[in-house]
Each structure stands twice: as C-alpha cells, then as structure tokens.
Amino acid sequence: MSVTSRDVARLAGVSQPTVSRALRDDPRVSHEARTRVLAAARELGYVPSELGRSLSTSATRQVALVADIGNMLYPVLMGPVHDRLLAGGYRMLMLAEQGDEAPEYERLLDRSIDGAILTTTLLNSSLPYELHRRGLPFV
C-alpha cells in the first residue's frame, strides 16, 4: 500500500490540506508545521502524485518539444531548453517529428501538456492548427 498525504498528516500532526500547502511552499503554513510535514514525508518516503496535482490544478507542468532529431541543430538546443523548463518547474516531453500521423501526437492533443515548442520543418504539418484549435499554447 502506498503512502498518502493523509499518512503524512497523521505523522506530522496536521491536516491533509496543510500537508498539501506545505509541500507547495504556501506562505500560510508556519515554518514549524512545514518542517514537521517535510520530516514526516521524508520518513514515510512520500512522493506527491503529479497526476493528482494536475487533476486538482488543471495544469500538467509539462511542455512538449517536437523536433526533427535528424537536424544537428536541435540536439544542441535540447539541453538548454530542458534546463530552462526545469528551472521554471516544468518537465519536458520530447517527441521526434514524424509527420502528422505520429501516435505520440495524441498526447499533445489530449491536453496532457500545458504547451508545446514546435521546430517543425514540415510545411504541411497540421499539428500547429490542431494545437490552436484545442486552445493549447505553442511557439
């Protein structure tokens, strides 16, 4: 059985919402309570669920990078883009440009990302249109 935020709350002597706030560095949580929550989470091996967080906030904190990995320029750019996203609290989902029929594009279009960076060289790609149609930001 996996450890839940309720288990952390019990051990830390706080409420479950306080655990959630403490793990997000919410200023409404006292330093003492935050310290107890972090210690309890560490002791229990608790890791917050990214899926649960994305369901409650409607944000995945994930940005897709769609690149032609055969082009030697893009591998050089991927590291700095990844580092910048990570510094902003985002994860990078890397997808190789494969034309409009790539099954991986479904992940982009089902709103499991917060945005996309496209480096497409395909002039007839429908991906920008589909992202725009679904209200997903992209550059």
| Residues 84, 35 within the same domain | no
What is each CA distance from 73 to 68, 69, 70, 76, 79, in whole angstroms?
9, 8, 9, 6, 12
* 0.75 surpassed by pTM: no
- What is the domain extent for residue 24? 5-48
Q: State both tokens at 124.
A: 């007839």
| Residues 66, 124 within the same domain | yes
| Residues 70, 38 within the same domain | no
We report the CATH number of the domain holding residue 90 as 3.40.50.2300
pLDDT tens by residue, 61-100: 888 888 877 778 877 888 899 999 989 888 888 877 766 5
pLDDT tens by residue, 5-41: 999 999 999 999 999 899 888 899 999 999 999 999 9
